[in-house]
Structure 1
Amino acid sequence: MSKIIQMLLKELDAESSITHKMLQRVPNDKLDWQPHQKSMTLKQLAGHVAELPSWITMALTSDGLDFAVTPYQPALVSNTGDLLELHNRSLENGKKSLESTPEDKFDEDWILRDGDNILLKTTKGETVRMSLSQTIHHRAQLGVYFRLLNIPVPATYGPSADEMH
């Protein structure tokens, strides 16, 4: 296995451990809460965070995603247990794809579009990396939701204000 794939697997494991801690704290009674009408609900945001590792597989096994042909359909979750199961499945799926994909595939093009409108043209490898960045980005949003709901924010790369003594 190449060093690049080993590095991505190591990062995926580390980030997924943090993500799991966050998803465990999503309260079932607040799933429909949203901080603003333009914001995702807590359920939508947490569901997206949980499914993002599976985007690694999509990047490595397809040439792109066209929202005009395949509109985004969020995973159906109805409680915290569903979120954790979704994350575990997505993570296992993403890891298997990384482990089984030859590194030369990482240089192939991957295109995100909405019909004729190209939203992003990049390589499959860059798309894998972007899915990790998206996880971190949306997980940080989840931390803001927690703060607004007075839910203790778990540590990420160091202690959080809620875990300091």
Structure 2
Amino acid sequence: MDTLQQLRSELEEEYRTTKKFFELYPADRGDYAPHEKSMKQNKLAGHIAEIFGWASFILPTETLDFAKGAYKPADISSREQLLEELDKNYSASKEALEGATEDALLPNWSIAHNGHKLAEWSKYGAIRHSLNQIAHHRAQLGVYYRLQDIPLPGSYGPSADDQRFA
């Protein structure tokens, strides 16, 4: 089994699906949130775009400490900027996965805050988790779109708005 090829294929599939969502992104509604506890739409979309780069920093590191690092979330204000962030991060992770070996997936990797471990996985598990996060947050974005009457593209098959299959 070629685990790296499977990860690359899944990353590419998630990229193609996410790009369809981002091509519909309503930049003039970046402050939209369906609930006061919900993330603003621009932050959610920016976070999804950032996740595409996670494999590129998981593979060469052992941890990401949010309090100690230079991590700064992307500040998205336009559809073009969102698509550029997506492309940049996807390309970085694709390149990292193409240059990796199966053994590179074995060591542990963690996220932390000020030295306190929040979660830990093998590097394979961390990359799998990032792919799960993409699907999870894209589904959230789909709910945001639905509540704003923005037709949804299909994800893993046609959506109710996809007239090609109506």
TM-score, normalised relative to structure 1? 0.95
- What code does the residue aligned with 2:93 have? G
Which position in structure 2 is the counterpart of 1:161?
160
What CA RMSD, in Å, does the superposition of the two structures yield over aligned residues? 1.3
Which position in structure 2 is the counterpart of 1:141?
140
What displacement does 1:116 show?
A: 3.6
8 Å contact from structure 2 (residues 53, 90) kept in 1 = yes
Which position in structure 2 is the counterpart of 1:104?
103
SS of 1:34's equivalent in the other structure is coil
Sequence identity, in percent?
40
- What code does the residue aligned with 2:19 have? H
CA deviations 1:90-138 (Å, max 9, x no partner) are: 0000000001112101110101111242111111111111111100000
1:26 matched to 2:25: yes
- What code does the residue aligned with 1:161 have? A
Give matches, 1:72-91, under 5 Å.
Answer: 72-91=71-90
8 Å contact from structure 2 (residues 151, 161) kept in 1 = yes
- What code does the residue aligned with 2:158 have? P
- Which runs of 4 or more aligned residues in structure 1 lie more than 2 Å from their structure 2 counterparts after TM superposition? none
> How many residue pairs align between the two structures?
164
| Bigger Cα displacement from structure 2, 61-70 vs 135-144 | 61-70
1:69 matched to 2:68: yes
CA deviations 1:58-107 (Å, max 9, x no partner) are: 11011011122126421122100000010000000000000111210111
Which position in structure 2 is the counterpart of 1:46?
45
